[in-house]
């Protein structure tokens, strides 16, 4: 019998990250990187107090965690697989830890910071 | 110039293991005709220039899946590829990539056949029926679920295209996984749990990184990449559901 792969765990995070990266990140980039600097949105839209109260509630915390963490898992998985596609196999375990480790840190640090708000 | 006076060059990979240390290329000049396939070009070489050239072929109409070769570095059926698509340029014909060569353009398909057998490529009846009970009925909707994946002709072009198979020959590979899906998606079949064990393994769908070249080269529009990706979803459901459902997921 063949051994069951644990890949579904990483693939699910990859898939969820792909959805966030495709649907939410362009909007966030537009709001924070284009609309606010160009004055399309009023500067108060992202005022400290507003965002602080948004990040104080659980729906806000979850949203922020999702948009920070999930695209990192998506990128980590894609970069790790692309190394394999390109035939780069040296230091494979190191690359695995580097890719998924970055995503894990990018999940744990915001998680702790968000809980403490 | 009329077609009769035109010629085209075909460079063919030659390899006779009893005398060659590694494959070598030989160039042949053959008469050109716009309606001639590359397979007919190879047949001209064998009949009129060099009878020692070996290649597989049978039906000449993209049904049998025997004549797959690399043509100018792309996996193609030589019967379905025409000299006119390359004229006046040169054509380079090689044995399918990633597969061991027996002689010239003839590859050893043992690994593919073993993998194909491992997935039970036939319907294992979900329920036994006697002759009196008649045939197994299927709605058009049930047929549509697997019909596309049943068009596979086992030509192995997708294996020559798949970089994962080239890097890791243990990978079950696009064609066999598409056929696995064809039987798993069939309403009459009852061997899904057995096949899921192959799907769930690293050598199953998880060996795929979704390059997608398999679907591009498929001469029958089977879209193996879609079959593999659907089974990544199936395998993920199976992975997590076994924690929730009594008795585990469908493959335990």
pLDDT tens, position by position, A39-76: 999 988 889 999 999 999 999 999 999 999 999 999 99
**Contact list, A7 vs chain B (CB under 8 Å):** 202, 206
Query: Percent of chain A scored above 70 by pLDDT?
Result: 99
By Cβ distance, the residue of A2, A8, A12 closest to B203 is A2
Whether residue B66 lies within 8 A of chain A, CB to CB, comes out as no
Distance from CA of B131 to the nearest CA of A (A): 35
pLDDT of residue A46: 86
Best of B206, B213, B252 to disrupt the A interface by mutation (most A CBs within 10 Å)? B206
pLDDT tens, position by position, B134-157: 989 999 999 999 999 999 999 999
**Contact list, A4 vs chain B (CB under 8 Å):** 197, 200-201, 239
Q: What are the structural domains, with CATH classification, of chain B?
A: 3-107 (3.10.20.30), 110-244 (1.10.1060.10)
Asked if B9 contacts B28 with a C-beta cutoff of 8 angstroms, the reply is yes
**Contact list, B163 vs chain A (CB under 8 Å):** 85
* Whole-number Cα distances in Å, B37 to B73, B194, B219: 17, 42, 15
Residues of chain B by 3-state class (helix, strand, coil), percent to 5? 40, 15, 45
pLDDT tens, position by position, B168-194: 999 999 999 999 999 999 999 999 999
Cα separation, B29 vs B31, in Å, equals: 7
Whether residue B200 lies within 8 A of chain A, CB to CB, comes out as yes
pLDDT of residue B236: 95
Cα separation, B79 vs B58, in Å, equals: 9
Whether residue B124 lies within 8 A of chain A, CB to CB, comes out as no
Distance from CA of A2 to the nearest CA of B (A): 6
pLDDT tens, position by position, B108-141: 999 999 999 999 999 999 988 899 999 899 999 9
Residue B251: is its pLDDT beyond 60? Answer: no
Asked if A80 contacts A11 with a C-beta cutoff of 8 angstroms, the reply is no
By Cβ distance, the residue of A1, A5, A82 closest to B206 is A5
Asked if B72 contacts B86 with a C-beta cutoff of 8 angstroms, the reply is yes
**Contact list, A2 vs chain B (CB under 8 Å):** 197-198, 200-204
**Contact list, B201 vs chain A (CB under 8 Å):** 2-5
Q: What are the structural domains, with CATH classification, of chain A?
A: 13-116 (1.20.1300.10)
pLDDT tens, position by position, A103-114: 999 999 999 999
pLDDT of residue B3: 59
B88: cis peptide before it, omega within 30°? yes
Residue B249: is its pLDDT beyond 70? Answer: no
Question: pLDDT-based confidence at B63, cuts 50/70/90?
Answer: very high
Distance from CA of A27 to the nearest CA of B (A): 27
């Amino acid at each position: 019998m063949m051994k069951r792969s644990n890949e579904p765990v990483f693939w699910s995070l990859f898939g969820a990250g792909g959805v966030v990266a495709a649907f939410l990140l362009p909007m966030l980039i537009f709001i924070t990187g284009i609309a606010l600097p160009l004055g399309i949105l009023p500067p108060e839209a992202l005022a400290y107090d507003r965002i602080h109260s948004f990040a104080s509630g659980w729906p806000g915390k979850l949203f922020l965690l999702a948009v920070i963490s999930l695209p990192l898992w998506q990128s980590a998985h894609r970069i790790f697989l692309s190394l394999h596609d390109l035939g780069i196999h040296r230091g494979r375990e190191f690359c695995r830890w580097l890719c998924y480790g970055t995503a894990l840190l990018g999940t744990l640090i915001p998680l702790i910071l968000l809980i403490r708000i | 110039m009329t077609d009769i006076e035109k010629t085209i060059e075909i460079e063919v990979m030659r390899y006779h293991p009893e005398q060659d240390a590694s494959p070598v290329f030989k160039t042949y000049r053959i008469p050109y005709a716009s309606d001639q396939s590359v397979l007919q070009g190879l047949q001209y070489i064998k009949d009129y220039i060099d009878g020692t050239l070996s290649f597989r072929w049978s039906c000449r109409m993209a049904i049998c899946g025997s004549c797959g070769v690399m043509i100018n570095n792309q996996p193609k059926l030589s019967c379905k590829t025409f000299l006119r698509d390359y004229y006046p340029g040169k054509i380079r014909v090689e044995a399918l990539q990633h597969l061991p060569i027996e002689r010239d353009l003839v590859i050893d398909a043992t690994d593919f056949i073993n993998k194909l057998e491992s997935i039970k490529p036939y319907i294992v009846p979900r329920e036994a029926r006697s002759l009196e009970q008649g045939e197994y009925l299927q709605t058009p909707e049930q047929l549509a679920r697997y019909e596309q994946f049943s068009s596979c002709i086992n030509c192995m072009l997708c294996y020559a295209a798949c970089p994962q198979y080239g890097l890791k020959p243990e990978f079950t590979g696009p064609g066999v996984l598409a056929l696995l899906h064809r039987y798993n998606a069939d309403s009459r079949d009852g061997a899904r749990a057995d096949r899921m064990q192959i799907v769930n393994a690293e050598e199953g769908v998880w060996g795929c990184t979704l390059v997608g070249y398999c679907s591009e080269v498929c001469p029958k529009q089977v879209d193996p990449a879609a079959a593999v990706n659907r089974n990544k979803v199936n395998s993920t459901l199976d992975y997590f559901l076994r924690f929730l459902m009594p008795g585990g997921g469908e493959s335990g």
